[in-house]
């Protein structure tokens, strides 16, 4: 599946998969632009995950691992923030990731364990939960308003183009996103993909 380049962005806006919605919003975590992304499933979706093998995983990875186990490998949403990695933040980072999941779960009417969280950006800074929570209503209200490119742009940090692809195989439509520039080696490193 080819990477979406800037001239193809208008085609990306039309990528949709039945049962799923996406959104992007400005939360103020980066200096400018979109920095919060949401993937939402209208029913519990069976999920699988591959995580970095880093010896010091960030808080969102630890919390999402917990949620994957507690939910019985189902999810309703993935919340991604850019601009702050919520890494090397200790117990405060874990609590911040859990709080973001709980607040989104309230708005979506599901269990916190059905919310997976990802963060990308600057390491070692506390995650500004208040900014994320303040942006959640906009994120939920605008699901699918801008199409797949909005989510793809919301998760970018050092990327030069949004990375999104869509394909239909055997009657099944698949939509995929990735974030990262040279960040996949070794063993997923800091690459994010959904």
Q: Which long-range contacts (CB under 8 A, 24 or more apart) does 40-43 make?
A: 40/76, 40/77, 40/108, 40/143, 41/75, 41/76, 41/77, 43/19, 43/76
Let me know how long the chain is.
194
Q: What is the three-class DSSP state of 167?
A: strand
Q: Measure the CA–CA gap between 91 and 97, rounded to whole angstroms.
A: 10
- Classify the phi-psi angles of 170: left when phi > 0, otherwise alpha if psi is within -120 to 50, otherwise beta: left
Token pair belonging to 116: 């997976």
Selecting among 64, 89, 120, 190, the annotated active-site residue is: 190
What is the layout of strands, in order, in the sheet containing 36-46? 20-25, 36-46, 74-84, 115-122
Q: Measure the CA–CA gap between 25 and 46, rounded to whole angstroms.
A: 26
DSSP 123: S
* Known catalytic residue at 89: no
Q: What is the three-class DSSP state of 124?
A: coil
Query: Looking at the annotation, which residues are catalytic?
Result: 190
């Amino acid at each position: 599946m080819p990477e979406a380049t800037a001239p193809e962005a208008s085609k990306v806006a039309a990528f949709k998969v039945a049962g799923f919605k996406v959104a992007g919003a400005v939360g103020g975590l980066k200096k400018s632009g979109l920095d919060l992304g949401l993937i939402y499933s209208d029913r519990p979706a069976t999920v699988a995950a591959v995580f970095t093998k880093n010896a010091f995983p960030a808080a969102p990875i630890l919390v999402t691992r917990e949620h994957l186990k507690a939910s019985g490998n189902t999810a309703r949403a993935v919340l991604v923030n850019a601009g702050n990695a919520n890494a090397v933040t200790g117990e405060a980072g874990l609590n911040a990731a859990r709080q973001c999941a709980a607040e989104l779960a309230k708005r979506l009417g599901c269990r916190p364990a059905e919310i997976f969280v990802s963060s990308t950006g600057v390491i070692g800074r506390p995650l500004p939960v208040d900014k994320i929570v303040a942006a959640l209503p906009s994120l939920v209200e605008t699901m699918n308003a801008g199409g797949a490119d909005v989510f793809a742009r919301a998760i970018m940090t050092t990327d030069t183009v949004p990375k999104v692809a869509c394909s239909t195989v055997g009657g099944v439509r698949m939509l995929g996103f990735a974030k990262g520039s040279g960040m996949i080696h070794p063993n997923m490193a800091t690459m994010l993909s959904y």
